[in-house]
C-alpha cells in the first residue's frame, strides 16, 4: 500500500502522458460495451462479466432515455477537480482527452490512488465476521477510485433499485438519480452544442430573484458551507433549525462553492436521492451529523443520502487563495496549480505568471511553495482559472509556510500605512493632557498590577484589590482605553475594523493596531500613567456584589506580574518574597501589599467560580500545546502541555465578571443597539448520539444542560492516569457538538432567549476586556462611553450588525490560523527531534481506521489499519453506536481490540511530505517491553 505521502511525492515528479492515437471514437452499441471502453481495468472487466446480465437489463431501460450515459460520464469527471493526492494528467477537463488518453489517464489515476483515503467501508461486518487482510483487501474489494464508484453507479442509472453482491460477499443497495429529471446537474445542458463542444459540468446559478422567492417559500435553504478536510467530497450546511447538518455529496453538488461560503441549496426531488452501501460508517471529522436529517429530509434507507445541491453563492467567504505547487504541462499555455488543501480545486494558471525558467526547468520548482488566487471557475470546467500571487519559498520552512497560511486565511500582515500612522500622537514620549486628567477618576495611587503571560507585550487589563474596614473588598478591573486613541471613522479606525482581531502565531503576533499603540501608548505597562476604562465593585469575601461603578480613569500599574509570579504567590501565602524574585515594583507599594492583594483576589475568585458552576456554567478544557523557542532562530527547542492554573483562573473570573456587568449596562441603555455575544446550545442530534454512545459504554453523563454536563465531567472520573486520560477524550467528544459563540446586535436577534450564552449560562454577555486585540471591544467601549457621558446615539444598527458579522468571520479565521501555526511548529519539532513515543487513547473508531489523542502532546491523529506494519488482518464491527476494530498481528497469538477509551502506544514519525507526520501504532508486545 502506498502511503499518502508517497502518493504526493509521486505527484511532484510524474509527467503527463499523451496518446499518439488521433482516431475518432467509434460508436458504442450498448451500455455494457461503453462501460468497458470507459474503464479498462481487469478487475472491473471481471466484475462486469460476473454481472453482465444485470447490467444489460438495466441498460435496456436506460437506452429509452436519450443520452443518459453521457451524463454519467460527465459525472465521472466532476470529482476529479480535486484529488486526495493532488495529481492530474492534464489541466483541461477529462472530456477533452482522446480515447486512448482517457484510458491512460484513468489507469494512471488508479495506479496513484491514495490507498489510505477515507472511503465508504467495504470491509465492515463481513458475513461470518471474517478478518480482512490489510495486504489483500485492495484486491478483494470493489474499486475505490471516485471514477470506479461512479461507473459502478452507472449500471443502475435509471431510478432502478439494484441489489449487487460483490465478489467478497458484500450486499450493496443503490438508489440512483433519475436520469430524466431536468434538475440533475449532470443533465443540464447535455444536449448543448455540437460534436466537440464542452459540456456542462455544473448547474447555472439561480437568479437573486429566484433565490429570494425560493427562500420565502421554504423551497431553498441558506447556510454556511463546511467541507470535510479529510474527505473533500463531503460537505455540510446546518439545517434551518440549526440542530443538525445537511449533507452535500460530491464536488458537483457544491457547484463551485468553497469552504466557508454562504450558500443557498435546493432539496433535490426524492427520486434523485442516492444511498451509500448499507455498511457505511457516517462519521465526519469534528462535527458530523449525517445519519439522518430532520423530518423534512428523512432518510429512506438509514444511510447517507444526496439531498441538496448549491444553487447560489450569497457571499464568498473563502479567500479564493491557496498555497500549493506547480506542475508543468508540456505543450500547454498554462501550468497546473495543485493546492495543499484538497478542498480547493486545481487551478490553471498562465505560464506568464510562472518563473521565467519554469517551462525549461520545472524540476527546480517541485518543492517551491506558491500562492495562487482563483479568478474564475466556469460551469463547463472541472478546473478553476487563477493567477499566481507570489512564490513563498521552499516547502517545509517555517517562514514560507507561515506566510502562506496568513495569505490563504486573509490575515493582513502588511505594515501600517503612513495615513494610518498619521492618526497616532506625534509628540513622543506622549503624556496625558491635563484637560483629559480632569475628566477622569485618578487611581494612580492605588495598588494596581497586571498578570499576563511572561512574553506578553500588549497588556490591556489590570487588577486591584484592597480590603475595606468592614471586611469587604474594593475590587477593580481596569481596561486600556483604546477608544481614546482610535477615533471613530478615521484611517486607523478603518484598518482596525478590517483586521478585527490580533492573530497570535507560535512565533509572533500580527497586531490589530500599530505597535506604538498596542505595546506602548495603550499597553498598561508598569510605572507609567495610562488611560483606562474601569469597573470597580464592592464585594463580600464570598463574591456577592454590593456596589458597582463604571467610568473612565487613570492608573499607574505598580508591577507587571506573569502567571508564574502570581502562581508562586498563591502557592506560598506565608512566604516573604524578595525583590530579586519579582519584576521591579513601585516603591509606593511594598511587595507584601501586592502579595496580599493577589491572595485576596484568589480567594474571591474561587468563590465566584464555585458560584458560577453551581449556577449551571460549563468549561471544557482541552489539552493545549505550547513551545519553547530558540530566541535567535525561533525554532522549537521543546514543547509541553500548557497548564491552566489558579493564577489563570483568577484573572478569568474577574474578566468574566466585568464582561457580564458591561453587557447588562449597554443592553439596558441600548436595547436595539447593544453589541453582545451569544453562545447557541449544542446540536441536539449530535448530543443525542453522544448520550447514546456514553450509555452504551457505561459512562454516566448527563448532557441535558451545560451545568449537568460540567458536573458529570468533574465528578464521574477519578484522579488516576487512565481515568484522567478518559476524561480528556470525553471532553473532546463533548466539544464536537458545541457551536461557536457569536457577536450580534440586539436589534437584529429579536428573541431575548436567543441572547443567552450556553457555556457561561448567563442571559447577557459581551466582550469589554481586550480592546487592544479585539475590535468588538472598541465598539462596546464606545457604547459604554455614550451611556455614561454623552447620551447621544452614535452608531447605526446596520453598522453594528455588519461589524458583528465581520468580527465573527475574522475570529474564526484567527482561530484556524493559530491551530495551523501550532501544527506547523509541531511538525518541525517531530522532524528535528523525532520519532516521539507516547501513550495515546482512542477517541473514535471507523471501519478501517481509528483516531487517537496523543496524551503527551495533546495532538489528535488518525491511524489507518492498512498502514500498520506487521498487521495480518483486521475486522470491524458495530453494535449500536459502539464501533470496534479487532487487530490480528503477525506471529502474535493474541488479538488487539480497539474501541473508544482503549489505551495504546504510538510513535510519531516525520513523513516524506514537508512538515507532515504520522502516528504509528506500536505492537502490544513492543509496548510492553
pLDDT at 305: 46
Grid cell digits, residue 206:
439561480
pLDDT band for position 133 (cuts 50, 70, 90):
low
257-261, 267-271, 569-573, 911-915: range with lowest mean pLDDT? 267-271
Instruction: Report how far residue 842's alpha carbon sits from residue 896's, in angstroms, rounded to the nearest whole number.
Output: 13
Burial 269-286 (b: 16+ CB within 10 A, else e): eeebbbbbbebbbbbbbe
Rounded mean pLDDT of 184-202? 51
pLDDT at 131: 59
Is 358 or 90 the better-scoring residue by pLDDT? Answer: 358
Cβ neighbours of 112 (radius 10 Å): 20
With a cut of 60, say whether residue 92 has pLDDT above it.
no
pLDDT at 734: 94
pLDDT at 273: 61
For 501-530, write each residue's pLDDT tens digit. 999 999 999 999 999 999 999 999 999 999
Place of cell 487513547: 841
- The H or E element spanning position 688 is helix 684-697
Within 13 Å, how many C-alpha atoms sit on residue 317's CB side? 18
pLDDT band for position 153 (cuts 50, 70, 90):
very low
Instruction: Report how far residue 760's alpha carbon sits from residue 780's, in angstroms, rounded to the nearest whole number.
Output: 19
With a cut of 90, say whether residue 855 has pLDDT above it.
yes
Instruction: Report how far residue 452's alpha carbon sits from residue 190's, in angstroms, rounded to the nearest whole number.
Output: 63
pLDDT band for position 893 (cuts 50, 70, 90):
low
153, 253 contact by CB (below 8 A): no
pLDDT at 123: 37
Grid cell digits, residue 421:
500612522
Place of cell 461507473: 151
Q: Which of 419-433, 459-473, 701-715 is the most confident on average?
A: 459-473
With a cut of 80, say whether residue 609 has pLDDT above it.
yes
pLDDT at 789: 85
β-strand pairing of 368-376 with 162-165: unpaired
With a cut of 90, say whether residue 294 has pLDDT above it.
no
Instruction: Report how far residue 601's alpha carbon sits from residue 649's, in angstroms, rounded to the nearest whole number.
Output: 10
Rounded mean pLDDT of 524-546? 96
pLDDT band for position 239 (cuts 50, 70, 90):
confident
Q: How far is CA 774 from CA 482, 602, 661, 807, in A?
A: 10, 27, 18, 8
Cis peptide before 835 (omega within 30 of 0): yes
Rounded mean pLDDT of 203-232? 92
Residues in the chain: 929
Place of cell 509572533: 508
Rounded mean pLDDT of 684-698? 90
Phi-psi region of 305 (alpha: psi -120 to 50; beta: other; left: phi over 0): beta
With a cut of 70, say whether residue 605 has pLDDT above it.
yes
pLDDT band for position 132 (cuts 50, 70, 90):
low
Does the annotation flag 461 for ligand binding? yes
CA-closest candidate to residue 232, choices 325, 338, 335, 139? 338
With a cut of 90, say whether residue 558 has pLDDT above it.
yes
Rounded mean pLDDT of 767-784? 96
Is 378 or 245 the better-scoring residue by pLDDT? Answer: 378
For 446-464, write each residue's pLDDT tens digit. 999 999 999 999 999 999 9
Is 289 or 568 the better-scoring residue by pLDDT? Answer: 568
Q: What are phi and psi of 222, to 5 degrees?
A: -110, 140
pLDDT at 134: 64
With a cut of 50, say whether residue 500 has pLDDT above it.
yes
With a cut of 80, say whether residue 632 has pLDDT above it.
yes
With a cut of 60, say whether residue 236 has pLDDT above it.
yes
297-306, 433-442, 761-770: range with lowest mean pLDDT? 297-306
Instruction: Report how far residue 601's alpha carbon sits from residue 594's, in angstroms, rounded to the nearest whole number.
Output: 11
With a cut of 70, say whether residue 4 has pLDDT above it.
no
253-257, 282-286, 334-338, 670-674: range with lowest mean pLDDT? 282-286
With a cut of 60, say whether residue 22 has pLDDT above it.
no
464-468, 683-687, 731-735, 857-861: range with lowest mean pLDDT? 683-687
Place of cell 426524492: 270
With a cut of 70, say whether residue 629 has pLDDT above it.
yes
Q: What one-character-per-residue DSSP string does 750-792 give?
A: --GGGG-BTTTTBS-----S-TTTBHHHHHHHHHHHIIIII--
pLDDT at 477: 98
pLDDT at 128: 37
Q: What mean pLDDT value characterizes the chain? A: 79
Contacts of residue 166, defined as CB under 8 A and 6 or more positions apart, other chains included, come to 47, 122, 141, 142, 172
CA-closest candidate to residue 759, choices 925, 619, 918, 551? 619
**Apex CA 502: angle with CA 642 and CA 622, to 5°?**
25
Is 118 or 864 the better-scoring residue by pLDDT? Answer: 864
301, 291 contact by CB (below 8 A): no
Q: Which of 184-198, 277-291, 822-836 is the most confident on average?
A: 822-836
pLDDT at 479: 98
CA-closest candidate to residue 600, choices 461, 462, 474? 474
Amino acid at each position: 500500500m502506498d502511503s499518502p505521502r508517497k502518493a504526493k511525492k509521486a505527484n511532484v515528479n510524474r509527467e503527463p502522458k499523451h496518446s499518439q492515437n488521433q482516431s475518432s471514437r467509434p460508436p458504442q452499441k450498448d451500455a455494457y460495451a461503453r462501460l468497458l471502453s470507459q474503464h479498462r481495468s481487469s478487475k472491473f472487466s471481471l466484475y462486469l462479466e460476473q454481472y453482465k446480465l444485470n447490467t444489460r437489463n438495466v441498460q435496456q431501460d436506460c437506452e429509452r432515455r436519450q443520452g443518459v450515459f453521457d451524463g454519467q460520464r460527465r459525472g465521472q469527471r466532476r470529482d476529479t477537480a480535486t484529488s486526495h493526492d493532488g495529481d492530474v494528467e492534464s489541466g483541461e477537463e477529462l472530456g477533452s482527452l482522446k480515447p486512448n488518453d482517457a484510458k491512460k489517464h484513468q489507469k494512471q489515476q488508479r495506479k496513484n490512488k491514495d490507498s489510505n483515503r477515507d472511503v465508504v467501508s467495504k470491509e465492515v461486518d463481513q458475513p461470518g465476521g471474517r478478518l480482512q487482510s490489510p495486504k489483500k483487501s485492495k484486491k478483494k474489494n470493489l474499486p475505490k477510485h471516485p471514477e470506479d464508484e461512479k461507473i459502478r453507479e452507472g449500471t443502475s442509472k435509471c431510478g432502478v433499485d439494484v441489489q449487487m453482491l460483490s465478489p467478497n460477499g458484500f450486499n450493496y443497495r443503490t438508489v440512483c438519480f433519475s436520469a430524466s429529471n431536468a434538475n440533475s446537474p449532470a443533465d443540464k445542458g447535455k444536449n448543448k452544442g455540437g460534436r466537440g463542444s464542452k459540456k456542462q459540468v455544473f448547474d447555472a446559478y439561480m437568479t437573486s430573484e429566484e433565490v429570494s422567492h425560493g427562500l420565502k417559500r421554504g423551497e431553498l435553504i441558506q447556510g454556511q458551507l463546511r467541507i470535510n478536510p479529510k474527505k473533500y467530497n463531503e460537505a455540510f450546511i446546518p439545517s434551518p433549525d440549526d440542530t443538525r447538518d445537511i449533507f452535500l455529496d460530491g464536488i458537483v453538488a457544491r457547484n463551485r462553492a468553497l469552504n466557508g461560503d454562504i450558500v443557498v441549496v435546493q432539496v433535490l426531488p426524492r427520486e434523485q436521492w442516492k444511498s451509500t452501501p448499507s455498511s457505511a460508517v457516517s462519521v465526519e471529522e469534528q462535527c458530523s451529523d449525517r445519519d439522518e436529517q430532520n423530518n423534512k429530509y428523512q432518510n429512506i434507507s438509514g444511510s447517507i443520502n444526496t439531498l441538496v445541491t448549491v444553487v447560489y453563492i450569497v457571499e464568498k467567504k473563502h479567500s479564493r487563495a491557496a498555497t500549493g505547487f506547480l506542475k508543468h504541462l508540456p505543450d500547454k499555455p498554462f501550468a497546473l496549480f495543485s493546492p495543499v488543501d484538497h478542498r480547493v480545486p486545481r487551478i490553471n494558471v498562465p505560464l506568464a505568471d510562472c518563473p521565467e525558467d519554469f517551462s525549461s526547468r520545472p524540476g527546480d520548482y517541485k518543492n517551491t511553495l506558491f500562492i495562487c488566487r482563483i479568478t474564475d471557475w466556469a460551469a463547463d470546467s472541472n478546473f478553476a482559472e487563477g493567477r499566481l500571487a507570489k512564490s513563498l519559498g521552499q516547502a517545509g520552512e517555517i517562514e514560507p509556510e507561515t506566510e502562506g497560511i496568513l495569505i490563504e486565511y486573509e490575515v493582513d500582515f502588511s505594515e501600517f500605512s503612513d495615513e494610518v500612522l498619521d492618526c497616532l500622537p506625534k509628540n513622543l514620549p506622549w503624556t496625558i493632557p491635563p484637560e483629559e486628567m480632569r475628566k477622569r477618576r485618578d487611581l494612580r495611587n492605588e495598588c494596581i498590577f497586571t498578570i499576563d503571560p511572561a512574553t506578553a507585550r500588549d497588556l490591556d487589563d489590570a487588577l486591584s484589590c484592597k480590603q475595606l474596614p468592614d471586611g469587604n473588598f474594593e475590587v477593580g478591573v481596569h481596561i486600556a482605553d483604546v477608544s481614546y486613541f482610535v477615533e471613530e471613522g478615521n484611517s486607523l479606525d478603518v484598518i482596525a475594523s478590517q483586521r478585527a482581531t490580533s492573530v497570535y502565531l507560535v512565533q509572533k503576533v500580527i497586531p490589530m493596531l500599530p505597535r506604538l499603540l498596542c505595546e506602548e501608548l495603550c499597553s498598561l505597562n508598569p510605572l507609567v500613567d495610562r488611560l483606562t476604562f474601569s469597573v470597580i465593585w464592592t464585594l463580600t469575601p464570598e463574591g456577592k456584589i454590593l456596589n458597582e461603578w463604571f467610568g473612565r480613569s487613570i492608573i499607574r500599574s505598580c508591577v507587571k506580574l506573569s502567571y508564574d509570579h502570581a502562581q508562586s504567590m498563591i502557592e506560598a501565602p506565608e512566604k516573604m518574597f524578595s525583590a530579586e524574585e519579582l519584576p521591579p515594583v513601585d516603591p509606593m507599594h511594598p511587595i507584601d501589599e501586592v502579595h496580599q492583594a493577589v491572595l485576596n483576589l484568589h480567594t474571591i475568585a474561587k468563590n465566584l467560580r464555585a458560584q458560577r458552576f453551581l449556577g449551571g456554567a460549563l468549561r471544557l478544557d482541552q489539552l493545549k500545546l505550547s513551545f519553547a523557542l530558540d530566541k535567535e532562530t525561533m525554532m522549537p527547542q521543546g514543547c509541553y502541555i500548557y497548564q491552566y492554573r489558579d493564577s489563570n483562573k483568577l484573572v478569568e473570573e474577574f474578566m468574566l465578571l466585568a464582561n457580564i456587568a458591561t453587557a447588562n449596562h449597554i443592553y439596558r441603555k441600548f436595547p436595539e443597539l447593544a453589541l453582545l455575544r451569544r453562545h447557541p446550545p449544542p446540536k441536539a442530534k449530535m448530543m443525542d448520539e453522544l448520550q447514546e454512545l456514553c450509555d452504551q459504554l457505561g459512562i454516566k453523563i448527563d448532557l441535558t444542560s451545560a451545568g449537568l454536563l460540567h458536573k458529570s465531567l468533574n465528578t464521574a472520573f477519578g484522579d488516576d492516569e487512565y481515568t484522567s486520560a478518559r476524561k480528556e477524550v470525553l471532553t473532546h467528544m463533548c466539544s464536537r457538538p458545541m457551536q461557536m459563540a457569536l457577536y450580534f446586535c440586539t436589534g437584529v436577534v429579536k428573541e431575548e432567549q436567543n441572547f443567552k450564552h450556553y457555556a457561561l449560562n448567563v442571559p447577557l454577555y459581551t466582550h469589554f476586556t481586550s480592546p487592544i486585540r479585539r475590535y468588538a471591544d472598541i465598539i462596546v467601549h464606545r457604547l459604554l462611553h455614550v451611556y455614561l457621558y454623552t447620551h447621544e446615539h452614535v452608531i447605526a444598527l446596520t453598522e453594528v450588525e455588519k461589524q458583528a458579522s465581520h468580527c465573527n468571520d475574522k475570529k474564526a479565521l484567527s482561530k484556524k490560523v493559530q491551530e495551523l501555526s501550532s501544527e506547523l511548529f509541531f511538525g518541525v519539532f517531530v522532524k528535528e527531534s523525532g520519532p516521539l513515543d507516547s501513550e495515546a487513547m482512542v477517541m473514535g473508531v471507523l471501519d478501517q481506521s481509528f483516531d487517537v489523542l496523543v496524551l503527551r502532546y495533546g495532538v489528535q491523529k488518525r491511524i489507518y489499519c492498512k498502514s500498520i506494519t506487521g498487521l495480518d488482518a483486521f475486522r470491524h464491527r458495530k453494535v449500536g453506536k459502539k464501533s470496534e476494530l479487532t487487530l490480528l498481528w503477525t506471529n502474535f497469538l493474541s488479538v488487539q481490540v480497539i474501541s473508544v477509551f482503549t489505551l495504546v502506544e504510538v510513535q510519531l514519525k516525520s513523513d516524506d511530505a514537508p512538515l507532515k507526520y504520522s502516528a504509528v501504532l506500536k505492537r502490544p508486545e513492543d509496548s510492553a517491553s
